[in-house]
Structure 1
Amino acid sequence: MHPPVDPIIFEIGPFALRWYGLLMAAAIIIGSTLASREVARRGQDPENFWDMLFWIIIPGFIGARLYYVFIQSPRTAEGIGYYLSNPLKILQVWGGGIHIFGGFIFGGLALWLFTRLRQLPTLVYLDAIAVSLPLAQAIGRWGNFINQELYGPPTDLPWGLRIDPNRRIAPYNDLSAYPESVRFHPLFLYESLWNAIGFCLIFWLSERFKAQLKPGDLSLVYLLWYPLGRFFIEFLRTDSWFFPGTPFNMVHILSFAAVVTATVLLYRRHRPTAVKT
């Protein structure tokens, strides 16, 4: 497996249209369209969702980028020092380098603030996003494929990913130990497939158990499903900073906390009540 196209579609002077940005835009448009329909299906005005989208996207991208720069980047070729020496590079998200957990934090705060100011039901909007977000993530991950990022350690599996030497991080950029014939785990593919399955699951639940679901349930299912897969995928990451002497990083902690919290809340919301006699 190898990226079949150049990351840049075309350039006009200093401006370039990149596959990464195009795929991210497609993911946002498709996911947002589906979410707006989910909002309408729940009896809310979809125009409020489109207004809210601008509140979410900008803080979400800022949070996603800052998380990458200050937490994720120490294992990359750039590293924190590179970004601190070139602060304008922090703004260049089109070349890759964002992290979904930072987007969750900043975007979630923006959504909460917007719904409070507009006096809208926060959980209803969160559920609509929970239905569509896995699909958007599944699409967006293919930008990592074209950029030759989000790959794991070497593998002999038939779907191993070829990474150009100039896109590798240490120690895999040592061609004497890891020649160009070496293939790597395509973590972007694993996560894309996990998200696609999650989308099908959450969408099915939203239809099959419509009458039994409470506002916020689908959001909790998402917070259980996505971090569960991400927890195990993180063990294969080659570009993360891990706690010294351990195979764990910050995403493991956040994912574990999300899965446990979502599981407990779902159980408490739907646990059977004892029948009094």
Structure 2
Amino acid sequence: MLPMSIPSPSQGVWHLGAFPLRAYAFAILAGIVLAAWVATKRFTKRTAGGTFDDVLEITFWAVPFGIIGGRIYHVITTPEPYFGVGGDPIRALYIWEGGLGIWGAVALGGLGAWIGCRRQNIRLPVFADALAPGLLVAQAVGRLGNWFNQELYGAPTTLPWGLQIDPAHLVIDPATGARFAEGTLFHPTFLYELLWNLVMAAVLVWLDRRFRLGHGRVFWAYVVLYTLGRGWIEALRIDTAEHLHLFGVEVRLNVITSLVMFIGGVVAFVVVGRLHPGREEDARRVVPVVAAEAGGNDPVTAEAGEGDGDVSGTERVTDTKHS
């Protein structure tokens, strides 16, 4: 039987002496580790040329870029706690309090991944396809941090899985302008997104195996599936956020963002599929081969073209013996 409500954790911070241990930080770190593990498993199996060291180096660049980008996006889309009336700008630096916007994390994290891929001689779309299910797993685990922080919950509900919120974490009722009454239950949007992301991660893996997606199509499928769920989950939330007025209706900015990203993901998935059907055979941008010449095995490098990564369709071949 379902419980009559879901309790919130009694605390989200523990102290080891003067050092605080925050559940939110552990959730984010656990998500990063799981995403890297999923990416490693998939990256080394889906195509030739990928190694654990490649994933480690690319992750080293992508993670800090992603955290910075996620925080910047959150502050831009939710400026009131920092720059509004009674806000504290310095709190924009307090990442441990929660607040990482996924699209900022993807944008700057993608830049970091691109740098790592260039350094490791890896094609970015291949890595993005390997990582995509892991991103959903990481986002699912990260939502546990919101649960511990008692934040980003949804509107009041009478459903049996309503979420309990401590009085200190109750937000303002948009309808009345007063804080919600103690004992009010809310939609557990952290749980909705956690479950959605895990199911969609499994769907991505199945789609990839069934249709041998490549050239970034798994990543674009991730964008489509994630925003499909994020849109309706975001619409349930009542936390402080930027709103836009469309056709006389006030809509949360993140809902609009999800809609735009959904459409963009669908278009990119279709266009890339038409231009580059199939999957790359090698993860590397420049593929080393062995020259079949008498007198030795001199190394030759071949830059993979826009096809499936087969060196027979290269753009440039350089024989290091005669160059």
TM-score range, shorter chain: 0.7 to 0.9
Give me the whole-angstrom Cα distance separating, in 1, the residues matched to 2:244 and 2:264.
23
2:206 corresponds to 1:201: no
Structure 2 alignment gaps of length 5 or more: 1-5, 275-323
Decide which structure has the larger Cα Rg and report it. Answer: 2
Residue of structure 2 aligned with 1:61, choices 46, 67, 72: 67
Give me the whole-angstrom Cα distance separating, in 1, the residues matched to 2:273 and 2:74.
37
Quickly say closer, same or farther: Cα 1:194–1:204, change in 2 above 3 A.
same
The answer for the alignment partner of 1:30 in structure 2 is 34
The answer for the alignment partner of 1:247 in structure 2 is 250
Deviation (angstroms), 1:112: 2.3
2:28 corresponds to 1:21: no
Whether the 8 Å CA contact 1:228–1:255 is kept in 2: the answer is yes
The answer for the alignment partner of 2:137 in structure 1 is 135
Give me the whole-angstrom Cα distance separating, in 2, the residues matched to 1:176 and 1:201.
42
Give me the whole-angstrom Cα distance separating, in 2, the residues matched to 1:6 and 1:178.
20
Residue of structure 1 aligned with 2:7, choices 2, 5, 20: 2
The answer for the alignment partner of 1:217 in structure 2 is 217
Quickly say closer, same or farther: Cα 1:165–1:116, change in 2 above 3 A.
same
Higher relative contact order (CA 8 A, sep 6+): 1
The answer for the alignment partner of 1:121 in structure 2 is 123
Deviation (angstroms), 1:16: 0.5
TM-score (norm 2): 0.75
The answer for the alignment partner of 1:274 in structure 2 is none
Quickly say closer, same or farther: Cα 1:205–1:184, change in 2 above 3 A.
same
The answer for the alignment partner of 1:275 in structure 2 is none
Give me the whole-angstrom Cα distance separating, in 2, the residues matched to 1:57 and 1:214.
23
Structure 1 alignment gaps of length 5 or more: 272-277
Whether the 8 Å CA contact 1:69–1:80 is kept in 2: the answer is no
The one-letter amino acid paired with 1:34 is V
Number of equivalenced pairs: 265
Q: Which residues of 2 match residues 96-111 of structure 1 at below 5 A?
A: 96-111=98-113
Whether the 8 Å CA contact 2:217–2:273 is kept in 1: the answer is no
Which of the pair is proportionally richer in strand? 2
Q: Deviations over 1:45-87 (max 9, x none)?
A: 221111111211111111111221221242xxx3424897442
SS of the residue 1:151 aligns to: coil
Quickly say closer, same or farther: Cα 1:132–1:196, change in 2 above 3 A.
same
Deviation (angstroms), 1:185: 0.9
The one-letter amino acid paired with 2:218 is L
The one-letter amino acid paired with 1:215 is H
SS of the residue 1:243 aligns to: strand
SS of the residue 1:247 aligns to: strand
Give me the whole-angstrom Cα distance separating, in 1, the residues matched to 2:210 and 2:30.
28
Q: Deviations over 1:125-164 (max 9, x none)?
A: 1011102111111111111111101101111111111112
2:264 corresponds to 1:261: yes
Which of the pair is proportionally richer in helix? 1
SS of the residue 1:17 aligns to: strand
TM-score (norm 1): 0.86
CA RMSD of aligned residues (A): 2.5
Whether the 8 Å CA contact 1:69–1:83 is kept in 2: the answer is no
The answer for the alignment partner of 1:146 in structure 2 is 148
Q: Deviations over 1:96-120 (max 9, x none)?
A: 1222121111111222233234432
Whether the 8 Å CA contact 2:141–2:194 is kept in 1: the answer is yes
Give me the whole-angstrom Cα distance separating, in 2, the residues matched to 1:219 and 1:207.
14
Give me the whole-angstrom Cα distance separating, in 2, the residues matched to 1:83 and 1:35.
43
